[in-house]
Chain A
Amino acid sequence: GNSVTQMEGPVTLSEEAFLTINCTYTATGYPSLFWYVQYPGEGLQLLLKATKADDKGSNKGFEATYRKETTSFHLEKGSVQVSDSAVYFCALSKQGGSEKLVFGKGTKLTVNP
């Protein structure tokens, strides 16, 4: 079945450091890929998405590129801020929309001033 594997956390960085959170997936066909973020005590917010191979999703300085050849969707940010501290989830859904999301286990990021 479909699955998502994320790098184990927690990840601790200093402000302005470069961030990479690795995500790989297993799926049949051409899934859509997502990064969601969960701030303490809150629900999930969509951070970015990509719906076909080679698409780059971007938002709030975060980027991820859909790489079908390596089945990956790594999250990157050039300069993190304290306010980026949260749990980040990689997820996929089958192509076509309105499909269930399959999530990774999440990676907790802490950014220190």
Chain B
Amino acid sequence: DAGVTQSPTHLIKTRGQQVTLRCSPKSGHDTVSWYQQALGQGPQFIFQYYEEEERQRGNFPDRFSGHQFPNYSSELNVNALLLGDSALYLCASSFPGSYVQYFGPGTRLTVT
């Protein structure tokens, strides 16, 4: 049973560019959450998708947007990249009502 997968593993972008990160949830899971983890910090909640709709959103600007597809996979898009967007981006999946979220290995984004 494959766990949560994310792509790419690493990414280097320039300020002002746009980036798309991808996530495939664990089999049987239909809820996907995204977190940003800055170096030396705990993960911060960006948003959560369920049934292709954004269900919850953290305190992140509109430059951060997402999408969920009918197969429950998800994308995180960040526009107009800033140096401060450099971080590990984690995807987590769960099924409705579950207390447990399963995390992927993350995508390391570096903005130069």
Residue A72 at the chain B interface, CB threshold 8 Å? no
Q: Mark B23-42, 1 if CB is under 8 A from A, else 0.
A: 00000000101010000111
Q: When the two chains form their complex, are residues A98 and B96 in contact, meaning their CB atoms are under 8 A apart?
A: yes
Nearest-CB residue, chain B, relative to A102: B45
Chain A stretch 58-113: residues in CB contact (< 8 A) with chain B: 89, 91, 93, 96-106
Complex Cα–Cα for A103 and B97 (A) = 20
Residue A44 at the chain B interface, CB threshold 8 Å? yes
Complex Cα–Cα for A89 and B43 (A) = 9
Q: When the two chains form their complex, are residues A93 and B104 in contact, meaning their CB atoms are under 8 A apart?
A: no
Q: When the two chains form their complex, are residues A93 and B99 in contact, meaning their CB atoms are under 8 A apart?
A: yes
Complex Cα–Cα for A102 and B94 (A) = 16
Q: Mark B84-106, 1 if CB is under 8 A from A, else 0.
A: 00000010101011111111111
Residue B14 at the chain A interface, CB threshold 8 Å? no
Size category, A interface: 20 to 34
Given contacts A97-B96, A98-B94, contact A104 B102 (CB under 8 A): no
Q: When the two chains form their complex, are residues B45 and A44 in contact, meaning their CB atoms are under 8 A apart?
A: no
Nearest-CB residue, chain A, relative to B33: A100
Residue B72 at the chain A interface, CB threshold 8 Å? no
Please name all residues of chain A whose beta carbon is closer than 8 Å to the beta carbon of B4 when the two chains form the complex.
Answer: 43
Q: When the two chains form their complex, are residues A44 and B97 in contact, meaning their CB atoms are under 8 A apart?
A: no
Please name all residues of chain B whose beta carbon is closer than 8 Å to the beta carbon of A91 when the two chains form the complex.
Answer: 42
Q: When the two chains form their complex, are residues B102 and A46 in contact, meaning their CB atoms are under 8 A apart?
A: yes
Please name all residues of chain B whose beta carbon is closer than 8 Å to the beta carbon of A51 when the two chains form the complex.
Answer: 99
Given contacts A89-B42, A106-B41, A106-B42, contact A101 B101 (CB under 8 A): yes
Given contacts A32-B99, A49-B99, contact A98 B42 (CB under 8 A): no
Given known contacts A32-B99, A44-B103, A102-B45, what 8 new A-B pairs fall within 8 Å (CB)? Answer: A45-B103, A46-B100, A46-B101, A98-B96, A100-B33, A100-B45, A104-B42, A105-B41
